[in-house]
Structure 1
Amino acid sequence: MSVQSDFDASDFASRLETFSDDELLQAMQELEKASDDISHDERETSDVFAKIALVETAIEDRFPGQLLAPSKEWQHRRT
């Protein structure tokens, strides 16, 4: 998930719309883990941070006014 030069943000955002709530929150968890593994030098060419921003927006759109609370609650339920 780290480097992808042909990343299409619009396509990714469209695909997020089809995700269930669990799939969306799982994607956020996976992206957060992936971001931990990206070296400082690779951050400029990685699509992970752009994907995180898009997933954050999708979560906020589904759960208005709750910011990322649904993600935190979901993670808590899974542990």
Structure 2
Amino acid sequence: MALNVTDRAILQAAAGTYTEPGGELEAITYASGMSLAKTYQRLNELMADPEAWAADPVSLALLVRRQEKYVRRRQHRRRVTNGA
């Protein structure tokens, strides 16, 4: 099954670069026409979908790297805050 238009729009908006604060969130919700929570749920589903990876591996790889970077920063902040 190929990605539908909404899924492609979500991936393109999420993988874009934005200079304005909140630009990514605005672009993603505009592109999907869904709430932000539902859009991120769909984005996580796409990141786990082999067909999505076959359709747009570059955008998905970028999103995975961003997500891993966010998790590492968050874990570091927790260690610093907790004094570990």
**Where on the TM-score scale, by shorter chain, does this alignment land: which range?**
0.3 to 0.5
- Which structure has more helix as a fraction of its residues? 2
Tell me the TM-score normalized by structure 2.
0.35
Tell me the TM-score normalized by structure 1.
0.37
Larger radius of gyration: 2
